[in-house]
Amino acid sequence: MTKRDEDGRTRRGILQAGLAVIGGAVTTRAEAQDKIPQATVQYQKTPKDGQMCSICVNFDPPNACKIVQGTIDPNGWCIAFGPKS
């Protein structure tokens, strides 16, 4: 017979929920670390040929990028540039 607490929860259910929360936190941390280093994408703090971070699909205002690590200048540029449609 399975023992339940006064709210009807089992020890196994509580442990599974706790592990799910911990797993979610680890996943979120891993996603942040999956960004590409600036040197790899040849990031520079100045525009190139009219292309700049502020008009890129990956730019995350005010100073971040969805795929490149670190602080990103809106006037910067890298080889991952993709214009907003």
Dump pLDDT digits (tens) for 26-83.
455 555 569 999 999 999 999 999 999 999 999 999 999 999 999 999 999 999 999 9
CA 54 → CA 65, 72, 74, distances in Å? 10, 9, 5
Phi, psi dihedrals of residue 59, rounded to the nearest 5°: -70, 135
Q: How far is CA 16 from the centre of its chain?
A: 25
pTM of the model: 0.62
8-42: pLDDT as tens digits: 667 776 667 655 556 555 455 555 569 999 999 99
CA distance linking residue 18 with residue 67, whole number of Å: 30
Q: Name all domains of the chain by residue range, CATH numbers in brackets.
A: 1-34 (no CATH), 35-85 (4.10.490.10)
Beta-ladder partners of 79: none
